[in-house]
Amino acid sequence: MRAVCWHGVHDVRVETVPQPRILNPRDAIIQVTLTSICGSDLHLYDGYVPSMLPGDILGHEFMGRVVEVGGEVQNLEIGDRVVVPFPIACGQCYFCRHEMWSLCDNSNPKAWMAEAVYGYSPAGIYGYSHLMGGYAGGQAEYVRVPFADVGPMKVPEDVVDEQAIFLTDTLPTGYMAAENCAIKAGDTVAVWGCGPVGQFAILSAYLLGAERVIGIDTVPERLAMAREHAGAETLDYEATSVVASLKELTGGRGPDACIDAAGMEASHGGLEGLYDKVKQAVRLETGRPHALREAIQACRKGGVLSLAGVYGGVIDKVPMGAAFNKALTFKMGQTHVHKYLRPLLEHIQQGRLNPAFIITHRMSLEDAAQAYEMFKHKEDGCVKVVLQPAAYWASS
Amino acid sequence: MSDVANINGYTESQDRSDLDVTVGERLLTIVGGGALAWYGLSRRSLLGLATAAVGGYAIYRSATGHAPVREGLSLVMSPAEQPMVVEETITINKSADEVYTFFRNPENLVRLMDSVESVEVQGEGWFRWIAEPIPGAEVVWHEDIVEDRPGERIVWRVAPDADIDSHASVTFTPAPGERGVETRLRFEVYPPGGAVGAAVAGLFDSIAAKRVKQYLRHAKQLLETGEIATVEGQSSGRSDVEVECW
Ligand SMILES: NC(=O)c1ccc[n+]([C@@H]2O[C@H](COP(=O)([O-])OP(=O)(O)OC[C@H]3O[C@@H](n4cnc5c(N)ncnc54)[C@H](O)[C@@H]3O)[C@@H](O)[C@H]2O)c1
Ligand SMILES: [Zn+2]
Ligand SMILES: [Zn+2]
């Protein structure tokens, strides 16, 4: 089969690799009909997530049809059309039983590695480094899905692939980021990053009752999308002082909740940006937490800081004094996707959410290398790329 | 000589000049578990649980160069010759009786420990174990359950004719708030002196702890999910088989 393989920094190749097979009784094999590139994949592409090996198959946002099931999978049949949550979860451990699916105790075969780095191991994730289990990802024609009796959700035929695909990651990630803000009537939420996650965080904040949502980015078409599709007010962080503008926009109070949807590769001009770029390049820190620093500074007293953007290692100069003395609440983590699948599918079916608007590029899986470059550099107005394996590409 | 650590009866030293380093001990530090397996093979000795616990792994690590092999010999036995101990704990989301029943069945133990080939029940609580820590190097030993408290504890001990006395125990303690059972797996080895003693000691460093923790994880996965999570045999853009990186 054809698959997108990581070979090093800024080096992904579409290669012919062996067909996946069932390895455990609760596995299924899915033939991928649609997959996409996530902002998290850029952290791998740029080499900021350790423990990648050349040849690793990328991709954790994918959907498709069941073509094979293991002996213990009773809920799926050949031909079922499913979306697959990006964290791999067993459904039976303490964490799965308490809806903390991305913290599953049993799905990381290389848990010892994550334990050494993080103290305890989170769940395995498709195509997301050996620290997260070394699972082959779904930017491929076929993918092996462990615990297939727990993760995959069948999609009704009236919901098309482009509406369903983001249930695997981006949509629940934006939603959980907003839910973590514990929004109350009258609240203002500020969102750093108007990429796919930021767009969905803005929409979800409104859905959960926010009075105002302010989106922050510098890429014009992303800011335009945040205004026109998600209904946010926007700020360009290169053109204004974000902290001062937010204060001004909120009558001097500051946003009630702040969402970091930019993550460890946030950019920043000036000396601070240079400082972090250098430190990150020599791996003295593994993230450039500009959005996070700004969000802490901007947040109102007693407010909530919700992190959707991914951090992998250590970061520098986080204004802990501001966070502490303003008594902020921090919420974060890989998304507990399983928990949100059904409620969000319902939002889509009822027409309250139509996530397909973020798609700017539809390409063949064969063109993945070009797609990564374009998404990374935000060329050609790229906000989100979906990739179709050749068989489907030809037929549509 | 400066002691940097004194763990479980052996001393790790930074200054090697005043150590009594024999040729055999040096050999050991190069081949790690290999010396132990060789010893087990040539003497048909019954190294027992210690081999099962760590032998194959130490060999694998030193052969593949994935783990730092100690430079020269930095382990000496302290005169006290207390047992060397590896103990690890995991919480399993099941009842104490279920976890006990699982550990009491030797077939399950074979599934946990990847270097163990088979365990046969030989009546009267005796088990005959066969392990192959390196290809072709079969190690056979007998062991006995010396303590068996349903839902609480099991202790295994190798047969008295073994060259190296070792026990293993597993203890079950209910965790608070219905969080399952705290399951504590402990290996104790009473090493002889000399090269073999050092060989055994060499296996009981952090590598052993990691390995024992892995057995517990496998037990937890089998008990909670019915299978052991794996990526072995999956596809990739590499021609070689899946190996652990780092
Ligand atoms: N928590 C999870 O489970 C989860 C899931 C998916 C994605 N993520 C993470 O969410 C983040 C965003 O993902 P995405 O797919 O939207 O990626 P993306 O790269 O397309 O979006 C990031 C956006 O942040 C903007 N940005 C950069 N620096 C900024 C700054 N200083 N201030 C404001 N905005 C800034 C960029 O211009 C870009 O538009 C990534 O870190 C990704 O890893 C997390
Ligand atoms: Zn993602
Ligand atoms: Zn779980």
CATH number of the domain at B61, please: 3.30.530.20
Task: Give the range of the structural domain holding residue B78, as residue numbers without chain letter.
Answer: 8-225
The last residue of a domain, from among A286, A312, A332: A332
**Percent of chain A residues past pLDDT 90, beyond the cut:** 87
Residue B231 is assigned to a structural domain of this protein: no
Q: Which residues of B55-84 are buried (b: 16+ CB within 10 A; e: fewer)?
A: bbbbbbbbeeeebeebeebbbbbeeeeeeb
Which atom of ligand 1 is nearest the CA belonging to A170?
6
Residue B239 is assigned to a structural domain of this protein: no
pLDDT of B204 > 80? The answer is no
pLDDT of A7 > 80? The answer is yes
> Quick one: which H or E segment has residue A39?
helix A39-45
Same domain, A88 and A35: yes
Same domain, A115 and A16: yes
Report, as an integer, the average pLDDT of A256-262: 98
Among the bound ligands, name the one nearest to the CA of residue A91.
3
> Quick one: which H or E segment has residue B148?
strand B137-149
CATH number of the domain at A362, please: 3.90.180.10
Q: Among A24, A103, A121, A135, which would you mutate to test the B interface (most chain B Cβ atoms within 10 Å of its Cβ)? A: A24
* CA of residue B40 relative to chain centroid, distance: 15
pLDDT in tens, B131-147: 765 566 666 777 888 99
Confidence of residue A46 (pLDDT cuts 50, 70, 90): very high
Same domain, A141 and A212: no
Phi, psi of B69 (to 5 degrees): -85, 135
How many structural domains does chain B have?
Answer: 1
pLDDT score recorded for residue A390: 80
CA distance A265 to A144: 30
Residue B241 is assigned to a structural domain of this protein: no
Confidence of residue A391 (pLDDT cuts 50, 70, 90): confident
Beta bridge partners of A134: none
Same domain, A63 and A30: yes
Q: How many CB atoms lie within 10 A of CB A150?
A: 22
How many structural domains does chain A have?
Answer: 2
A152 Cα to the center of ligand 1, angstroms = 25
Take atom 35 of ligand 1 and give the residue whose Cα is closest.
Answer: A193
pLDDT score recorded for residue B191: 67
Same domain, A248 and A280: yes
A38 Cα to the center of ligand 2, angstroms = 5
Report, as an integer, the average pLDDT of A251-258: 98
Take atom 36 of ligand 1 and give the residue whose Cα is closest.
Answer: A193
Average pLDDT in chain A: 95
Report, as an integer, the average pLDDT of A90-111: 97
Report, as an integer, the average pLDDT of B142-157: 91
B235 → closest Cβ in A18, A93, A133: A18
Residue B242 is assigned to a structural domain of this protein: no
Answer yes or no: do B225 and A144 touch at CB < 8 A: no
Answer yes or no: do A133 and B246 touch at CB < 8 A: no
Residue B137 is assigned to a structural domain of this protein: yes
Confidence of residue B193 (pLDDT cuts 50, 70, 90): low
Among the bound ligands, name the one nearest to the CA of residue A139.
2
Residue B1 is assigned to a structural domain of this protein: no
Residue B244 is assigned to a structural domain of this protein: no
Q: Among A112, A128, A129, A135, which would you mutate to test the B interface (most chain B Cβ atoms within 10 Å of its Cβ)? A: A112
Q: List, as one string, the DSSP characters of A223-234.
A: HHHHHHTS--EE
pLDDT score recorded for residue B176: 94
Q: How many CB atoms lie within 10 A of CB B181?
A: 24
What's the Rg (C-alpha) of chain B? Answer: 18
Task: Give the range of the structural domain holding residue A379, as residue numbers without chain letter.
Answer: 2-169+335-395
The last residue of a domain, from among A281, A310, A332: A332
Same domain, A79 and A146: yes
pLDDT in tens, A265-288: 888 777 777 777 777 776 667 778
pLDDT score recorded for residue B69: 31
Same domain, A252 and A352: no
Same domain, A265 and A197: yes
Going by C-alpha positions, the residue among A13, A7, A57 that lies closest to residue A369 is A13
pLDDT score recorded for residue B70: 33
CA distance A253 to A300: 6
A247 Cα to the center of ligand 2, angstroms = 31
CATH number of the domain at A272, please: 3.40.50.720
pLDDT in tens, A119-156: 999 999 999 999 999 999 999 999 999 999 999 999 99
Confidence of residue B130 (pLDDT cuts 50, 70, 90): confident
Phi, psi of A29 (to 5 degrees): -110, 130
pLDDT of A243 > 50? The answer is yes
Q: Which one of A263-267, B65-69, B115-119, B212-216 scores highest in mean pLDDT?
A: B212-216
**Percent of chain B residues past pLDDT 70, beyond the cut:** 50
Same domain, A119 and A48: yes
Same domain, A224 and A361: no
Beta bridge partners of A331: A306
Confidence of residue B51 (pLDDT cuts 50, 70, 90): low
CA distance B19 to B74: 8
Beta bridge partners of A265: A288
Residue B230 is assigned to a structural domain of this protein: no
Going by C-alpha positions, the residue among A343, A375, A357 that lies closest to residue A203 is A357
Q: How many CB atoms lie within 10 A of CB A137?
A: 25
Beta bridge partners of A29: A68, A144
Going by C-alpha positions, the residue among A145, A35, A31 that lies closest to residue B234 is A145
ipTM confidence: 0.93
The last residue of a domain, from among A307, A332, A357: A332
Same domain, A182 and A306: yes
Same domain, A255 and A208: yes
A60 Cα to the center of ligand 2, angstroms = 6
pLDDT in tens, B53-68: 444 334 333 333 333 3
Q: Which residue has the higher pLDDT, A256 or B28?
A: A256
A106 → closest Cβ in B179, B213, B225: B225
pLDDT score recorded for residue A107: 98
